[in-house]
A = this chain, B = another copy of it.
Amino acid sequence: MQLSEDQVRQFEEQGYVFLPSQFTEAEVAAMKADIPRIFAMDRQEVWREKDGKSVRTAFAAHTYSEPFHRLAHHPRMIEPVKQLLGGDVYVHQFKINGKEAFEGDVWQWHQDYGTWKRDDDMPEPRAMNISVFLDEVTEFNGALMIIPGSHKAGVLEAGHDLETTSYPLWTLDKETVARLADEGGIVAPKGPAGSMLMFHGNIVHASPPNISPWRRMITYISLCHCDNHIRQFKRPEWIAHRDFTPIECMADDCLLDLSRQPAE
C-alpha cells in the first residue's frame, strides 16, 4: 500500500490525505468489539469528559487491546506514513476519542506538533496523525475540521487551556485561526467507518461538541520518524511513548484474522 504521486502532492500542499473505507466493515467490527471492555476500564489512560462518565479519550489502547495493537502494526496505515516521513516510524501517541453522543466535548483549535515540541521536545515536525474512523462521520456528530495548507505556517504561538475541557491543550488564538481559515478555508472529511485521514503534525484543526444522538468514535495514532524521537519525558509514558523501536508491520489480514476468531 503506497500513496500515489497525486496523494503525496496533496499531502505536501494541503497537509492532509483522506482515504475513505481504507478498512473494511469486518475490520472495524473487530476493533469495536473491544470498545465496551476498554471504555469500562477504571485506569488513568481512560480519560473522562467533565461529566466524569463519558469517555473523552482512551490513551495507549494499543498496549492493552489486541485489535488496537494490530491496528498500530497495520501495513495499510504504517506503510503510507513511512512513505511520507521517509523511513521507520514509532508510535508517539495512540488514542481512541469517544466523542460520545450528546456528551462528546469540543477539541479546541490546535496543532499537534506544537504540543510535541513544547511538552516532549520533539526536534522536527517529522511526525503526523492518522485517524481511523470507528463510526461513520457525518456533518452532525462532530466531524474533525482542518484548515488546508495551515501546516505551512510552522509552529504557531499557543496558550495552555486548562479550563475549557477536562483535558489540557495548547490552543491557538482566534485571530490566528480566523486568518488561516480565511486564507485556506476549512474542510471536514466525512465518510463511513473504516475511513482514514492522514494529516501533518502542524495542521490546524478542531472538532465541535457532538450534540447529535450518534457517537463519533475515532482512533488517532501519532507516528514519528524514529530519528526524530522525543527528548523530554515530562508527560506520562502513556501519553507520550518512550519506546522508539521501529514498527514492524503485521500481515494485511491481521485484523480480519481477529474478526474470524471468537472473542475470548
Contacts and interface: CB of A to CB of B under 8 A. Distances in A.
Main secondary structure of the interface of A (DSSP, over half): loop
A5 interface: no
A215 to B, nearest CB: 11
A205 to B, nearest CB: 11
A207 to B, nearest CB: 8
A181 B102 CA distance: 13
A186 interface: yes
A140 interface: yes
A212 interface: yes
Given A174-B101, A178-B101, A209 B106 contact: yes
Contacts of A207: 211
A181 B212 CA distance: 9
Given A139-B139, A140-B188, A208 B211 contact: yes
Interface centre among A102, A106, A145, A174 (most CB of B within 10 A): A102
Interface string A186-197: 101000000000
B212 A186 contact: yes
Contacts of A123: none
Interface of A: 101-102, 106, 108-109, 139-140, 142-143, 145, 174, 177-178, 181-182, 186, 188, 206-209, 211-214
